[in-house]
Amino acid sequence: YGEKDDKNAIIAGLQQLREQQRNIVVELARVEDDKREHERVIQVLKKMEGDRKCFRMVGTTLVQHEIKTVLPILESTLQNLDTLVNSMKDNLIEKVKNCKNIRKNIKFVMSLRKN
C-alpha cells in the first residue's frame, strides 16, 4: 500500500513539473513577442526626430510623449524583457533537468524492485 502511494506521489510531482514547464513555455513565448514588438518600435523611432510626438500605452491609457523621452523608457523596458527571457529560459532548463532526474530515479527504483 505504501509503495503505491509513493509511486502516485512521484507521478504527481512529475506531472506538476511538466505543467510548470508548459506554463513557462507559454509565458516565454508571450514575453518574446513583447520583446520583438519593442525592438521593432525602437527601430522605427530611432529613425525619427526626437522632438516628434508619439503615443505610448500606459496601462489602459494612451499618453502623448516626445520620441526623445519615450525612447529611453522603451530601451530600458527592452533590456528588462531580455533579462526576463534569459531568466525564464534558465528556469525552463532547470525544470527539464528535474524531470529527467525524476524519470531516471523512477527507472532505477523500478529496476531494483524487479530484482
Which overall architecture, per CATH, does domain 2-107 show?
A: Orthogonal Bundle (1.10)
Q: What pLDDT, on a 0 to 100 scale, did the predictor assign at position 99?
A: 87
Cell 528588462 found at: 80
Count of alpha carbons within 13 Å of 83, Cβ hemisphere only? 6
Q: What pLDDT, on a 0 to 100 scale, did the predictor assign at position 35?
A: 98
Grid cell locating 60: 489602459
Mean pLDDT in consecutive groups of 10 residues from the start of the chain, 115 residues? 70 89 97 98 96 93 96 97 98 92 78 69
Q: What pLDDT, on a 0 to 100 scale, did the predictor assign at position 78?
A: 98
Q: What pLDDT, on a 0 to 100 scale, did the predictor assign at position 96?
A: 92
pTM for this structure? 0.79
Strand ranges inside the chain, DSSP E: 53-58, 61-66
Domain edges within the chain: 2-107
Q: What pLDDT, on a 0 to 100 scale, did the predictor assign at position 9?
A: 81
